[in-house]
Amino acid sequence: MKPDLRSTHLALSLLRILYHSAVLWLLVDLWSWRASAFAFHRSEVRLLLPLAIVVNALLILGFLTRPLLVVNVVLVRVIFHLSLDPYTVDDVVRYFSVPLAFSPAPRTLSIDSVLRGEDARGARVPTGFVWLLYACLVLLYEDSVGFKLSSHIWRAGSAVWLGAALPHVGWIGLPGVLEQAWLMKGLTWGALAYEFFFPLILLPALRRPLVLLGLALHLGTALFFPLPQFGLIMVGLLFLFIPFEDVLPRTREEVAPRWPGAPLGYALMGLIVFAQLSLYTTMGPTTFSRLLGVSRWPIFLDAHFTVPAPLYRLAYITPAGERPIPSFDVDGRPTTRDRYWKCVGFELRWSPQVGPLYRYLVGWQEKEGLHGGRARVYCKDVSLRTLDLDFRMPDEIRARPWRVCGEIQLVDSIAEKAGP
């Protein structure tokens, strides 16, 4: 069976729109939380963050696409380097910003193509560029598979259920009718199989089923977990492999056009592969791999469910009573998402230090236009009896009581209380 990585400019433009919409969302969130994320770098991001927001908005519209893709490589690296609240999606954006900078000029669904009087949505994308994106996705998925195969929750078939059903992890919960052992194990192993077999997407017979599995996996992540930005980014990247050429009118371009960036693009592909392989040696991360955005991908493993520290629920104390601070509700469900769900739900528990908590609370205060005051911290035991399937655990965790474990006097300037 002959490999085939054909793609159309419609697929490439939809990738651009979805991917940069997610990045824009990510950056707008950072701007709203800048008092926390950039507590010690406020002056630097006062210009950089709005600039990055404008750049990604213009990339969604497809205006000055090629130069702005290059500018975006630098901007996201500087901004995420300065952020004190790291997020896995930052790593994904850093990683894919470099290959996307080699993207050919858009020929449809863009201001650039309109200004040229062109709408070639069915035209072929240079095959070399598709290979570059394919290689980057393969490296990400296969590295993730390596971690998951060493993880009990993935081998036991409980990862999807634990993530979707436990109150402090799942966003909306699972209907009871879905709590079937065979179904949960099937979904977990199906997600693992998708990542493992993703390289076979270059085979025409497997392209559609693998694309459909990938879209279902990442849309499910956005629906059931508080990770919509991660889901949207991965869905956008997969759009390059949707076979729109089968439904679009044929063009006269039966052969993919020449890729102007081919020499550099193929060299970049080799460097990314080399950098990824070097991470498995004693060399570890290097300046070279960090510049390329290459990293390991230990995404959603046992550690997310074995944190010894309790869950924290935060409330602002007012004369009229308590005002909830985005963290978790009385049932233990997350009331925040993405970066700050990770921050409150995991990072503050992995390393319970006062500095990050103060930064988070000061960031919330600034968002809400408040000054000073006190915050109450409630704690709840969310430890698990087992990492295997046990459908009684969500009810057990919901029934466990919250207890007051402290109060914090808030300040207007994080520099008064916290270190980076």
Distances (CA, A) of 78 to 198, 313, 413: 31, 32, 23
Per-residue model confidence (pLDDT) at position 419: 42
Query: Is the separation of the CB atoms in 79 and 48 below 8 Å?
Result: yes
The pLDDT score that the predictor gives to residue 414 is: 56
pTM attached to this predicted model: 0.94
Q: Residue 298 has which token pair? A: 């230990």
pLDDT along the chain (420 residues), means of 10: 88 98 97 93 92 98 97 97 94 97 96 96 93 97 96 96 92 83 96 97 95 95 92 97 81 69 89 91 78 92 93 93 94 94 91 81 90 91 95 94 92 51
Inside any domain, residue 152: no
- Residue 410 has what pLDDT? 83
Q: From edge to edge, which strands make up the β-sheet containing 311-318?
A: 321-325, 311-318, 374-380, 403-409
Total number of domains constituting the chain: 1
Q: Which residues are within 8 A (CB) of 324 and not within 5 positions of it... i.e. 6 or more apart?
A: 314, 315, 316, 335
Its domain, for residue 393, covers: 302-416
Please check whether residue 137 lies inside any domain of the structure.
Answer: no
**Helices 204-224 and 228-238: angle between axes, nearest 10 degrees:** 170
Residue 364 maps to a domain: yes
Residue 337 in any domain: the answer is yes
> Ramachandran region of residue 369, left (φ > 0), alpha (ψ -120 to 50) or beta?
left
- Within a domain: residue 156? no
Q: What is the pLDDT of residue 376?
A: 95
Q: Has residue 115 been placed in a domain?
A: no
Specify if 240 maps to a domain. no
Q: What is the 3 state secondary structure string of the chain?
A: CCCCCCCEHHHHHHHHHHHHHHHHHHHHHHHHCHHHHCCCCHHHHHHHHHHHHHHHHHHHHCCCHHHHHHHHHHHHHHHHHHCCCCCHHHHHHHHHHHHHCCCCCCCCCCHHHHHCCCCCCCCECCHHHHHHHHHHHHHHHHHHHHHHHCCHHHHCCCHHHHHHHCCCCCCCCCCHHHCCHHHHHHHHHHHHHHHHHHHHHHCHHHHHHHHHHHHHHHHHHHHHCCCHHHHHHHHHHHHHHCCHHHCCCCCCCCCCCCCCCHHHHHHHHHHHHHHHHHCCCCCCCCHHHHHHCCCCCCCCCHHHHCCCCCEEEEEEEECCEEEEECCECCCCCECCCHHHHHHHHHHHHHCCCHHHHHHHHHHHHHHHCCCCCEEEEEEECCCCCCCCCCCCHHHHHHHCCCEEEEEEECCCCHHHCCCC
